[in-house]
Structures are given as structure tokens and as C-alpha cells.
Amino acid sequence: MEWYLLSEKLTRYHKDSVELLKPYTDGCKTVLDIGCGGGGFSLEFAEKGFEVTAIDKSPLAVESLTDRAKNRKLENLEAVNVSFEDYDFKKCYDVVILSYMMGLVNESNIDGILKRVNKHLILVLPLTTTKSDFAVDELYHELGIDIKNLEQLNYLSLIKILDRMNIKYEIETTGAEFGQPFNTCDEAVNFIYHYFNLPTEYKRKVAYWLNMKLLRINDLYYLPNNKKSVMIII
């Protein structure tokens, strides 16, 4: 969580994404952020004056978001520790957003979700079918590891569902810097090993690769990451 919070603080991914969504959220008042995680989208919407409800099944994520909202004096953001499946919809929301919650929306539940949406359902999904965050696909090539290990569902899997159900949608593509700062090079190595499944015997090679990628910004080491996403607006 500390890595995520530092990255969010120093980059503009959520700010730029919410700004891009402005044509779809103008005139809206309420937002439900399903699977809010660190709360980047929730905080941005709350800062802009929306009444935000953020839900996540992780107690740590909800506790962190609640503390951050209090520190910013945002009384219009409520974080709730509950899974999407167990959430009791007591009202409809102008905007419902799900970011990188692959597989949560499917043919069996999308109609039910849309019944809780007054204006727009916004789904933020990966652009590519291969994970490329922090140029990790390049690292896998460098190490000779099959990039099939980085395969992921992307926005096209949901598009197929929407097309089959004749649900109309619009698409916005966003690319914004969402890199990761570190205090040391060793911390960067630990980060890569925490998020990607790499054999321990490659640690020296991973450290060498990172030394070529890391930028020195003030007193921090920074690993760039142009995060490319697709936003499907229904």
C-alpha cells in the first residue's frame, strides 16, 4: 500500500483520467467506486465535489482511504469494507466506476448493475493482452522468460459481451504516467519481485536492468510507467 500511495502522490494518472471523463460526469452528483483499492478515483471525484461511496473487500484499503479522506477534510467520501457481491444497493448512483476489476462484470450481472446507474457505468480496463507495466514485458524478454506468463484479459473481452447484448457504449483511451518512486535500488528490486512472478536466481540481472531504467529525481529513484488504459462508458 505504501508503494501505491507514494506513486499516486507523485503522478497524475487518476487526475488525468477523471478529467478525461468530465464530459460524461458533468451534471452528476453521486459516484459509487466498486473495488476502490487505494482510492485514487474516489479521492479525485470527492475533491471535485461528488458524493462518493467507495467499497472494497480489503479492510486495509478501506482504512487507508478513510484516513486519507479525513486528512483532506473530505466529508463527502464514505469508504465501506464490503465486497461487491455482498453490497446492499440502497439507492442508485449517477456514476458507477470499476477500475481494473477484471471478470467482475459479466453477462449474468451487467443488467443488474446498470439498473443501479442513473447516468453512466464506467469500466477502466487494460489496453493490451500482455502486461507491460514498468516495461516488465521487456524485462521478461531480457531474462528469456516466456511472456505468456504476463497474459491478461483486456477491454476487448468486455466489448464482446456488450456487443452480444446490444448494449451501447463509448470508448476513451488514456495514457498517463503512473510510475513508482523508491528510496533505494534494492527497494525497486523488491517491488518487481513482489508484483511479478520471477525466479529468485535472476535477482542480479533484474537489479542490473533496473539500474538502467531508474531515473534519479531529487532524493528518490523513479521507475517510469506510462499506464495505458481503456475506459468503456455505458
For residue 27, tell me if it sits in a domain: yes
Q: What is the pLDDT of residue 6?
A: 81
Using 50 as the pLDDT threshold, list the residues of the chain that sit under it.
none
Q: What's the N-to-C CA distance of the chain in angstroms?
A: 31
Q: What is the pLDDT of residue 75?
A: 97
Q: What is the pLDDT of residue 196?
A: 92
Give the number of domains in the chain: 1
Domain that holds residue 24: 2-129+152-178+227-233
Q: What is the pLDDT of residue 179?
A: 95
Q: What is the pLDDT of residue 19?
A: 95
DSSP per-residue letters across 46-104: HHTT-EEEEEES-HHHHHHHHHHHHHTT-TTEEEEE--GGG----S-EEEEEEES-TTT
For residue 217, tell me if it sits in a domain: no
Looking up residue 96, the CATH number of its domain turns out to be: 3.40.50.150
For residue 45, tell me if it sits in a domain: yes
Give strand pairing partners of 93.
Answer: 117
User: pLDDT for 20-61, tens place per residue?
Assistant: 999 999 999 999 999 999 999 999 999 999 999 999 999 999
Q: What is the pLDDT of residue 4?
A: 87
For residue 146, tell me if it sits in a domain: no
For residue 204, tell me if it sits in a domain: no
For residue 47, tell me if it sits in a domain: yes
For residue 190, tell me if it sits in a domain: no
For residue 221, tell me if it sits in a domain: no
